Structure 1
Amino acid sequence: MPDLFAPLTFPRGRPMPNRLALAPLTNRQSHDDGRLSEAERAWLVRRARGGFGLTMTCASHVQPSGQGFGGQLAIHSDDFLDGLTSLAADLRATGTLGVVQLHHAGARADRELVADRVSASEVEGARALELDEVHRLREDFVAAAVRAERAGFDGVEVHGAHGYVLTQFLSAETNQRTDAYGGSPENRARLLLEVLAGIRAACGPDFQLGLRLSVERFGLRTLEMRELAAELFGRGELDYLDLSLWDVTKYSVDDDAQDQPLLELFAELPRGGTRLGAAGKVRTPADAAAVLERGADFAFVGRAAILHGEYAQLARDADWEPVPMPVDVAHVAGQDVSPAFVDYLRTFRGFLAP
């Protein structure tokens, strides 16, 4: 098996102590105004102390209009710096890489919390962003990254997956714009590329930059996303690309890429010094090792990390397996999962016992 506990270097910043990363998991534990809560701090720091080489926050919205869910961490104002700064210090003290995921939900913003929902084009009751608003969105992603750097985090990951606003621009189904941000694949990728270039220019030379990318669903075409990934690798602005695959063993369903394993389709691309991570049903140490065997550099762990705060330490035993689901509420409560997070987990089929 590949060594899950070998360090991993990046083009910039500190190395990752091992090949296991905590996935950016929605947990609804922040305060209603977006400030970090003690429950969310405890949840993240427990996983960092438990050995994860990289510990990422939940999706953190860069504009008030981008809030995707209640109890979401926010980073759209300096008002949030106190909590973010203390969290960054707590994470760094464990030796993990501390990362904030930058997010805007676009048309998927919570209807009860966001009255004026926006997207690339008019869709699902959301209105199309005006051109100056597109530029403001780009600058607010960049400002949020600068804010994360000021707070002391090692880096940020831009959320370009799961049908949120950047995916809404990438998708030919949801992007019907006729200006420079719509039409061709190059134009539809323009906002994402400008966000990444802006962050790279505005932040320091040791600040790490990642991107989470969906490669199918949400109106995306796998081979088009593969071409985008190839361009991103060639540009050299990213420290890592995070493939959100839902299942790391999944094959493409697109007609022009059918029967090709998604992970290998991207892992085989020349990527220079950019690292490749993958997420999707990574449960056991053997699952994580298989991600490396198939060409990625590190693995993101989600649900199994909810079940075990010390997942990364326990994974040193290659034969260890997480507890089977469904689990009792008492079990997850013992893993620093707060009542708000428990309520959210009740929406996951088969996760919690009745």
Structure 2
Amino acid sequence: MSNPINRSIKVNGKEVKNRIIMPPLVCFNWGNDKGFETVSRGEHYGKRAKGGTGFIIIEATAISKDGRITDTGLGLWSDDHISQFNDIAKSCHDEDAVVTVQLVHAGMKSVGNTVYSSSPVDMENKECLGMSIEQINEVKENFVKAAIRAEKAGLDGVEIHGAHGYLLSQFTSKETNKRTDKYGGSLDNRLRLPIEIVKEVNEATGDDFIIGYRFGVNDPTMEEDKYFAKKLEDLGVHLLNVSSGIGANDIEVPKDFPFSSITYMGTEIYKEVNIPAACVGGIRKPEDAKHLLENEMIDMVAVGRGLLADPDWTNRAINDEEVDICYHCSPRCKYAVDGKKCPWYR
């Protein structure tokens, strides 16, 4: 039997040469306050593309300066940012990799003393206010403009970040969304903002442009997740990249499931849709990815820290070679402080 990792797959008609995704992983302290890189991302992502990875998602990139995850993160809120993504697109395409960028607004997790979310939130170190309709419309416009810039940069698509407790999670989750207007209350109302963003990005970009969605599981419940996943498919989303949501800690996993709860939810969403679905969640060893693919539990496997530790992870996995394994540094990932502090950095 051929190595399941090395099977190609089509995402919105684009041929992806294998089933491994590099998920969006922020390179902390590799940029400046204006959204520009200070360490080459073309080189960073190009190494993973040269190492065989078929699909690369560039790290969380802010659609507006007031929606940044970190004050050193990449931005796509200005045309001036396009050139750095053009360099990434070329470095990945030169190695026959498909490459998209994750677009994000962090909401109450944004940088700044005053931030905005679906509803006001009591926070110790900052003031969090509820967004007005005018601000919501501005967020939608900024997602669309950033997607257009990504297309101009030569990227193959975008991933809209709807997970990890960032703004779109804050709208979909009833834990954080206490609105009483058309963006709050019922499930369809809480899903309204991401749905409108997907629609408008789809209308503003080309037919062959990939629209992915970073899907936050159990946000708010598993059954509502399944409903939302089908809605996204109907809207024209081409890839669901399943990760953690606000209620992810409450997921119940069967005792015989060999991987994490987040991986489990990826395999559950996979069953509900007819578009490619990817799972993530501590998958560092090739045999784990092979198990998921061989047993038809998922379409694609996102290998995060494994690819930070070993840029050649995918080629080595395909050739049944040993890979460099992430040390899972304690008390926290050293890459999350500065990529150059990772023991495997090169």
TM-score (structure 2 length as normaliser):
0.86
Indicate the residue corresponding to 1:156 in structure 2. 158
SS of 2:40's partner is helix
Q: How far apart in 1 are the matches of 2:106 and 2:249?
A: 25
How far off its partner does 1:206 sit?
A: 0.6
Q: Which residues in structure 2 correspond to 1:33-182 (within 5 Å)? A: 33-110=34-111, 114-123=112-121, 124=123, 125-182=127-184
Contact 1:30 1:40 in 2 (8 A): no
Residue ranges of structure 2 left out of the alignment (5+ in a row): 258-263
Indicate the residue corresponding to 1:253 in structure 2. 250
Q: How far apart in 1 are the matches of 2:142 and 2:117?
A: 15
Indicate the residue corresponding to 2:239 in structure 1. 240
Residue 205 and residue 183 in structure 1: after superposition, are their counterparts in 2 closer, same or farther (change >3 A)?
Answer: same
Q: Which residues in structure 2 correspond to 1:273-312 (within 5 Å)? A: 274-292=275-293, 293-312=295-314
Residue 134 and residue 236 in structure 1: after superposition, are their counterparts in 2 closer, same or farther (change >3 A)?
Answer: closer
SS of 1:9's partner is strand
How far off its partner does 1:321 sit?
A: 4.1
Residue ranges of structure 1 left out of the alignment (5+ in a row): 346-350
How far off its partner does 1:258 sit?
A: 7.8
How far off its partner does 1:339 sit?
A: 8.6
Q: How far apart in 2 are the matches of 1:237 and 1:231?
A: 9
Residue 264 and residue 88 in structure 1: after superposition, are their counterparts in 2 closer, same or farther (change >3 A)?
Answer: closer
Contact 2:199 2:235 in 1 (8 A): no
Indicate the residue corresponding to 2:327 in structure 1. 325
How far off its partner does 1:31 sit?
A: 2.8
Residue 54 and residue 254 in structure 1: after superposition, are their counterparts in 2 closer, same or farther (change >3 A)?
Answer: closer
Indicate the residue corresponding to 2:260 in structure 1. none
How far off its partner does 1:99 sit?
A: 0.7
- Aligned AA (1:310): D
- Aligned AA (1:8): I
How far off its partner does 1:338 sit?
A: 11
- Aligned AA (1:232): L
- Aligned AA (1:214): G
Q: How far apart in 2 are the matches of 1:87 and 1:154?
A: 11
Structure 1 stretch displaced more, 65-74 or 290-299: 290-299
Contact 1:23 1:56 in 2 (8 A): yes
Counterpart check, 1:209 vs 2:211: yes
How far off its partner does 1:85 sit?
A: 1.6
Indicate the residue corresponding to 1:25 in structure 2. 25
How far off its partner does 1:245 sit?
A: 4.9
Q: How far apart in 1 are the matches of 2:328 and 2:285?
A: 16
Contact 2:270 2:276 in 1 (8 A): no
How far off its partner does 1:145 sit?
A: 0.5
Contact 1:118 1:129 in 2 (8 A): yes
Residue 11 and residue 181 in structure 1: after superposition, are their counterparts in 2 closer, same or farther (change >3 A)?
Answer: same
Matched pairs, number: 326
Contact 1:39 1:338 in 2 (8 A): no
Residue 70 and residue 290 in structure 1: after superposition, are their counterparts in 2 closer, same or farther (change >3 A)?
Answer: farther
- Aligned AA (1:199): V
Residue 120 and residue 245 in structure 1: after superposition, are their counterparts in 2 closer, same or farther (change >3 A)?
Answer: closer
Structure 1 stretch displaced more, 292-301 or 46-55: 292-301
Contact 1:264 1:294 in 2 (8 A): no
Indicate the residue corresponding to 1:229 in structure 2. 229
Residue 324 and residue 152 in structure 1: after superposition, are their counterparts in 2 closer, same or farther (change >3 A)?
Answer: closer
Deviations 1:184-229 (A, max 9, x none): 010000000000011110000110110011113xx62222112111
Q: How far apart in 1 are the matches of 2:50 and 2:289?
A: 19
Q: How far apart in 2 are the matches of 1:126 and 1:98?
A: 34
How far off its partner does 1:322 sit?
A: 3.0
SS of 2:101's partner is strand
Q: How far apart in 1 are the matches of 2:327 and 2:101?
A: 29
Indicate the residue corresponding to 1:265 in structure 2. 268
Deviations 1:58-92 (A, max 9, x none): 10000111111132010111111121222212221
Structure 1 stretch displaced more, 69-78 or 144-153: 69-78
Deviations 1:155-181 (A, max 9, x none): 100010000000000010111111111
Q: How far apart in 2 are the matches of 1:326 and 1:190?
A: 38
Deviations 1:271-325 (A, max 9, x none): 23x1111111111111112232243111101011111011111111336343362
TM-score (structure 1 length as normaliser):
0.85
SS of 2:158's partner is strand
Contact 2:267 2:279 in 1 (8 A): no
How far off its partner does 1:231 sit?
A: 2.0
Indicate the residue corresponding to 2:200 in structure 1. 198
